[in-house]
Amino acid sequence: MMRSASAIGIAMFFWLLLPGAALAQNGGPAVSTVNGKAALAGGEMNAHPTGIAEGSLTVPLGYSFGGQLDLLGGDSNGQGLWGIAGQGFWRNPSQGLLGVVALHSDRGISSTLSKGVYVNRYGGEGALYIGQFTPEAAVGYQNGNAKTGAFSTLDLGWYPLDDLRLTGGVDLNPTHTHALLGAEYQLGVAALPGLTTFLESGLSGQRDSYVLTGLRIYFGPAKTLIRRQREDDPDNPLLTGTGSGLNNNGSSPQTCPAGETGTPPNCVPEPG
């Protein structure tokens, strides 16, 4: 599965690089203007109550290129969560996006554990804009004190309405595989034209599944959701798959505090 996903992602990148398919900028600038977004979400992660906040700032870098800074922080079962990511990309809003991404995600910073679980990811990302569909892929390498190795993320976005996005995909990484399901709807509030409600989930056969739902606000010119996501802000990679680190049980050499048992970060009081 990992090899197949990587092959699909690489094929998308080369499709974007084909002469005549990519660098003709007749679809507008890579980023329409300086803009950003922020979100609050709650739900569960590793079967524990979780709350997070996330934000992104996106800037044009000339006409054909853009950059984005992504941040995320929160708490799950008394353990701090945080992450930071950077993206640099070429984009034609009528064709697709091709870029690079690097991120660091960490959990356990406020727990009594001697060491948290952290993951770094480095790789490439690509997206194709095909009518109401947006297939996306990211491939690269991850390391940290959880398992290390190659990762691939594949996602298909569908806009049955210009203000409604439904997504499904898979995140393949050295620790666990997650099935990704999500939805986002722009509410059409006149006073807050960029307000959306969303759901993100990553499901696996292990205990590290997560489901988060909340509100997001986009800052910038009023436009439909499909235009915002193709002309302004790319996805925050820290939320998609939660960076493969924030919800990761990992394989780090931790032990639970005295009086507790289990595998960090999922420690529970000892029976009796």
In which residue are the tokens 């999500």 written? Answer: 182
Q: What is the pTM of this model?
A: 0.81
- Rounded CA-CA distance 138/126 in Å is 6
Check residue 90 and give its pLDDT: 97
Check residue 184 and give its pLDDT: 98
Give every CB contact of residue 143 below 8 A, 6+ residues apart in sequence: 119, 120
Pair of tokens at residue 47: 């079967």
Number of domains in the chain: 1
Domain region containing 224: 2-269
Identify the DSSP state of 9: H
Check residue 18 and give its pLDDT: 45
Check residue 110 and give its pLDDT: 45
pLDDT averages per 10-residue partition of the chain, 272 residues: 50 47 65 96 88 96 96 87 94 96 80 64 95 96 85 94 96 84 95 96 78 95 96 87 54 53 66 69
Check residue 240 and give its pLDDT: 65
In which residue are the tokens 């986009």 written? Answer: 218
Check residue 223 and give its pLDDT: 96
Check residue 122 and give its pLDDT: 93
> 70, 125, 68, 122: which is closest to 96 by C-alpha?
125
Could you tell me where the DSSP H helices lie in the chain?
2-17, 225-231
Check residue 254 and give its pLDDT: 46
Pair of tokens at residue 13: 């990148």
- Rounded CA-CA distance 192/173 in Å is 37
Give every CB contact of residue 271 below 8 A, 6+ residues apart in sequence: none
Give CA separation, 42 vs 52, 54, 208, in Å.
6, 12, 16
Q: What is the CATH number of the domain that holds 90?
A: 2.40.160.40
Check residue 68 and give its pLDDT: 97
Check residue 79 and give its pLDDT: 80
